[in-house]
Copies of this chain bind each other. A is one copy, B any other.
Amino acid sequence: MATDANAPTTPRDPWDLPDVSGLVVGVLGGTGPQGRGLAHRLARAGQRVLIGSRDAERARTTAAGLGDGIEGTGNAEAARRSDVVIVAVPWEGHARTLAALAGELAGKLVVDCVNPLGFDKKGAYALKPEEGSAAEQAAALLPESRVTAAFHHLSAVLLLDPEAERIDTDVMVLGEERADVEIVQALAGRVPGMRGVFAGRLRNAHQVESLVANLISVNRRYKAHAGLRVTDV
């Protein structure tokens, strides 16, 4: 029986998230601190994780150091073999890396976590990509991928701290398709203490990415590894 798409339905529970435990997660730029930290936390939570790097040998060394079954390989192979691909490359290499991998990333769920920032003697400041944000640049370069944005506000130091059992922070997840956003939310939720919260469309990614400049100021003033929690949610 065909269902009427316009029939009134009960609003869906926003916390009814899919089971993502069987998905393979690739981390491009996985040898950097953010990429390593995310790979470590997801693998420690039971996810199958591949680290990608321009230098496959370096990815293998990093993966071996992290353990938990993480594999290291080249960026292209990591993209090809993964269901979900986290982009954790430096902003400077963002456009070039993604453009070169458009074929491997076709059909994949891409999670951009890159923060375009500049630094000078007064500290960090936001860079505004021509496309609006790193995530929108990814979406423009990867028209056949399902692009989302998340994992911007995590402290690599905490992610890699073996003493930290929990990462008590929320992950703002942005995207155009609810089903894709919910997969990323569920992935964040695999890490103890972490929660994925929907926080808007990609056109509102710039402020989420560049808020890291503010968190850097917080860290300096309070000697902290600041993150964010969304209250009343």
Contacts and interface: CB of A to CB of B under 8 A. Distances in A.
A123 B200 CA distance: 9
Q: How many copies does the complex hold?
A: 2
Interface residues of A, number: 42
A226 B230 CA distance: 6
A199 B217 contact: yes
A208 interface: yes
A233 interface: yes
B204 A221 contact: no
A179 interface: no
Given A207-B207, A214-B172, A232 B225 contact: yes
Given A155-B232, A206-B126, A231-B168, A200 B214 contact: yes
12 contacts: A124-B204, A125-B204, A155-B232, A199-B215, A200-B218, A201-B217, A204-B214, A208-B214, A211-B211, A222-B233, A226-B230, A227-B231
Interface of A: 14, 122-126, 155, 158, 168-169, 172, 174, 197-201, 203-204, 206-208, 210-211, 213-218, 221-222, 224-233
